[in-house]
Structure 1
Amino acid sequence: MDTKKRYDWVDAAKGISIILVVMMYAAHNVGKYTGETGFLHYVIGFATPFRMPEFFLISGLFLSQVIGRDWKRYADRRVVHYFYFYAVWVAINIVLKVGIAGRDPGAMLSDLAVAVVQPYGVFWFIYMLGVFSLAAKLAWQFRLPHWLVIAAAAGLQLAPIDVASYAVTQFCAYFVFFYLGYAASPLIFRFVEGAAARPLAAVLGLAAWAAAEAFLVFWPDGTLLPLDMKMGYAAFPPLHLTLAVIGAIALCVGSALLTKFTFMDWLRRLGQHSLAVYLAFTLPMSAIRIIAMKTGLTDTSLLSSLVLVGAVSAPVVLYLIVKRTGIATFLFERPAWAHIPGTPGSRNPAPVAAPAE
């Protein structure tokens, strides 16, 4: 297996994943104020079954390379890592939106406290990556067989469970995909690379999948709403779970095909820095929408597309400025104090070199 190609398609898949995430928020953010649906609503409607499952499945692909580490090093890399960035960016957003713009210090402090136990806003998926990594490590520690964990996680996903705790609700909805990415990673890599080696068959297969996906999502009563998507047959829980897994794999295959074209290298590069976009897209998204609407632009399709491009591009520009100037590096890199003592990157790292990931 070609390691470089493997990482290329994974990065491209991450690039598509972040575009889909920002696209959903951009479309819904615009739809909230225009009261209409646009072109991007159709794309997001089509991707509804697999959009977030794909994100979590890819996040679990390389877990097997680190899950056997001691608890300290594992927790630093797979738990503290995500919680640090969650804490930093949630604090920034709450302070700016509630404390400064909203001029409500009391609500700001309340939101900051609640965000510790209740995932805040669009940052819930960063929070859940830490929780999922912890749960997977516990399953490994207790030697639970993959089939048992997958069966239990699939049962939770099929329920579906919706409780007051957003963390519990999202755990039940998405842990199965994260764990599948981890447990089935060798099979996924073989399948994707095998499909990429037969591009004609892969394209035909993707076309057939896309047609079936569109039919099941929009038929017989699939409805696009400015802030949501009501699915057709795809809303049936067992079918929804199946479509989520198939769609996630299809997106990986499509990513592998796209890496064959040099002009698509931007997608791979975007995927390499997808965390920066995940963290920083919300503030420019709202700012661009507000400014554009003040100029008189109200066409939902055009406005949401503009917001999407700006919300993806702005964090990349910010990341490059931070890297070039060395100012505010804590936004995208954990400082030494934010590492568990004795782990790589901490003030007093252990003398043993960390294996490559």
Structure 2
Amino acid sequence: MSETTGLAQSRVPSRLDWVDTAKGFCIILVVLMHVVVGFEVAQERESWIDPFIDWAKLFRMPGFFLLSGLFASRLIGKSWPDFLDRKVAPFVYFYLLWLAIHCLLKFQTWGQGDAATLFGSYTLGLVQPFGLLWFIYLLAVFFVVTKAARGYPVASWLIAAALATVPVTTGWLLVDRFAGYYVFFLSGALFAPTIFRFADWVRDHRAAALRLGLGWAAASAFLISLGGYEALHETFGADLVLGHAGALGIVALSVVLAGRLGWVAYCGRNSLPVYLGFFIPMALTRVLLIKAEMPFDVGAASLLLTVLCVALPLALHRLVRGTALAFLFERPRWFRLRSAGNDRAEPTEPMPVFEPEDGAASELNARAGR
């Protein structure tokens, strides 16, 4: 029997619905950004949607990583074999599988019939995260580093924050993205109780939270209008401050809208299949539109293609469930490091946090530890 990954779990009620909604917003923004960039590069022109894409960069990936960090506490406290099997091995499996799929689909472009080049591309992807798959690769690294440094929460967060204050451009994606985003994952893990209390405050003070959110949106949009995302990105400390503010903005918006946008929450619960599969319809549709040589508005086409690129992987995920193709989105039993029976006997110890856990944190930890 296959193990379904934690990013495609069944619905959980009440207080944590906002987590699925927040992940849904983030994954939709990820798809939209890639669709827009792909169109603009291919067409060599810009679009009216660019200012929104620049604005969303302030919080899209910081929010995604902060949300991923919220699930770390209980699993970080498990033994290394149990931890690696539950949290790291699934990411390794999906990265290796979908790296092979990416390489095969681009074989004619890269290898021109040369199998050695194809193998070399795959091998390079083991040390240099490949294209769209870098997020899966980095999540595995983030979990391992967080467990290794679990006894030094203050020092590890300060180091991560220092790395995020200035752009790191070594040319190695693993190093550059780790420096830029690890602090947000760690903030989610270490400050989870505070984030839950913030979510509870938003739920109890919706009007005040809405005013606060609109103020943040206006201020961040104004900053973007001054020089674009790149100018802010190169400003000392801007990524660190605006990334956390934006991630909390996503949390606040998701708390307010939780239960009202079921399709967004569904995308969040199944964000992994969307992330893994959206590039296929994106690439095929883009090629067809461009080869048709028909005039089209890049912004409008991007919005329509984003809907398609989110819907098709979700449909494929449902279609292959319980079939021989389920391995595309589910980790097979043979890729487990430990038997399921041994997991229940392991004592757990929560990760040190800066504040005591409250009820919401305990609820999320219980969900994460399943």
1:247 aligns with 2:246: yes
Q: Is the 8 A contact 1:76 1:340 kept in 2?
A: yes
- Give 2:305's match in structure 1, choosing from 291, 296, 307: 307
Q: Which residue of 2 aligns with 1:230?
A: 230
Displacement of 1:37 in angstroms is 2.1
Distance (Å, rounded) in 2 between the aligned partners of 1:351 and 1:56: 26
User: Aligned pair 1:136/2:146, yes or no?
Assistant: yes
| Partner of residue 93 from structure 1, selected from 87, 102, 120 | 102
The normalised TM-score by structure 2 is 0.86
| Per-residue deviation, 1:234 | 5.8
**Residue 119 of structure 2 corresponds to which residue in structure 1?**
109
Q: Is the 8 A contact 1:15 1:271 kept in 2?
A: yes
Q: Distance in 2 between matches of 1:190 and 1:39?
A: 38
- Give me the whole-angstrom Cα distance separating, in 2, the residues matched to 1:275 and 1:251: 19
Change (3 A) 1:89 1:351: closer
**Which residues in structure 2 correspond to 1:1-357 (within 5 Å)?**
4-98=13-107, 102-140=112-150, 143-144=151-152, 146-219=153-226, 221-222=227-228, 229-231=229-231, 233=232, 235-261=234-260, 264-295=261-292, 296-323=294-321, 326-342=323-339, 344=340, 349-350=341-342, 352=344, 356-357=369-370
- On the 8 A contact 1:192/1:252 being kept in 2, the answer is yes
Q: What is the CA–CA distance in structure 2 between the aligned matches of 1:322 and 1:353, rounded to whole Å?
A: 33
Instruction: Look up the equivalent residue of 2:313 and give its one-letter code.
Output: P
- 1:331–1:100 distance in 2 versus 1, CA, 3 Å: farther
User: What amino acid is aligned across from residue 4 of structure 1 in structure 2?
Assistant: P
- Once the two structures are superposed, what CA deviation does each residue of 1:174-228 show, in whole Å capped at 9, x if it has no partner? 1111000000001001101211221111111111000000011121x32xxxxxx
- Structure 1 residue ranges, 4+ long, deviating more than 6 angstroms after superposition: none
In 2 relative to 1, CA 351–308 (structure 1 residues): closer, same or farther, beyond 3 Å?
closer
Deviation track 1:68-89 (CA, whole Å, cap 9, x = no partner) reads 1111111111211111101111
Counterparts of 1:44 and 1:56, CA distance in 2: 18
User: Following the alignment from structure 2 to structure 1, what is the Cα–Cα distance between the partners of residues 66 and 239?
Assistant: 15
1:100 deviation in Å?
Answer: 8.0
Give unmatched runs, 5+ long, in structure 1: 223-228
Counterpart secondary structure, 2:342: coil
Give 2:357's aligned residue: none
* Aligned AA (2:237): P
Q: Distance in 2 between matches of 1:193 and 1:293?
A: 47
Amino acid of the residue matched to residue 264 of structure 2? L
CA distance in 2, matches of 1:92, 1:288: 18
* Greater Cα offset, 109-118 or 162-171: 162-171
Gaps of 5+ in 2: 1-11, 347-365
Q: Between the two proteins, what is the percent identity of the paired residues?
A: 35
**Are the aligned partners of 1:161 and 1:172 in contact in 2 as well (CA < 8 Å)?**
yes
Equivalent residue letter for 1:73: D
- Asked whether the equivalents of residues 129 and 137 of structure 2 are also in contact (C-alpha less than 8 Å), the reply is yes
Q: CA deviation at 1:293?
A: 2.8
Cα drift, residue 353 of structure 1: 6.2
**SS of 1:328 mapped into structure 2:** helix
Give the deviation of 1:49 after TM superposition.
1.7
String of CA shifts for 1:108-149, please: whole Å, max 9, x gaps: 111111111110111001000000000000011xx11x2211
Supply the distance in 1 between the matched residues of 2:119 and 2:303 (Cα, whole angstroms).
Answer: 35
Distance 1:182 1:204 in 2: 27
User: Aligned in 2, Cα 1:305/1:104: closer, same or farther, shift over 3 Å?
Assistant: farther
Q: Is the 8 A contact 1:234 1:243 kept in 2?
A: no
Distance 1:18 1:5 in 2: 22
Counterparts in 2 of 1:352 and 1:159: CA distance versus 1, 3 Å: same
Asked which structure has the greater RCO (Cα within 8 Å, sep 6+), the reply is 2
Aligned CA distance change for structure 1 residues 351 and 274 (closer, same or farther; 3 Å):
closer
CA contact (8 A) 1:216 1:234 kept: no
| Deviation for aligned residue 1:336 | 1.0
CA 1:104/1:306 → structure 2, altered by over 3 Å: closer, same or farther?
A: farther
Deviation string, structure 1 residues 33-54 (Cα, Å, up to 9, x no partner): 1222224322211111221111
